[in-house]
């Protein structure tokens, strides 16, 4: 598991945008982060 996680992290570049979506509730939330972990919501 740790190797897989490290491999995914190493693929993040300056142009990468990471998006997380919570769809488990009645109201859905989405948040995006750039490679510096700055949030875009």
Structural contact between residues 21 and 28, judged by C-beta atoms closer than 8 angstroms: yes
User: How far is 21 from 31, CA to CA, in rounded Å?
Assistant: 7
Which whole number is the average pLDDT over 1-8? 72
Q: For the chain, what are the domain ranges?
A: 2-40
Structural contact between residues 27 and 16, judged by C-beta atoms closer than 8 angstroms: no
Alpha helices in the chain (DSSP H): 2-10
Residues 8-38: tens digit of each pLDDT: 777 877 788 888 899 888 998 898 887 777 6
Structural contact between residues 16 and 33, judged by C-beta atoms closer than 8 angstroms: no
Q: Which residue, among 7, 27, 30, has the nearest Cα to 18 in the 3D structure?
A: 30
């Amino acid at each position: 598991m740790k190797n897989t996680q490290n491999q995914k992290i190493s693929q993040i570049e300056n142009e990468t945008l990471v998006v997380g979506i919570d769809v488990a509730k009645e109201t859905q939330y989405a948040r995006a982060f750039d490679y510096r972990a700055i949030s875009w919501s």
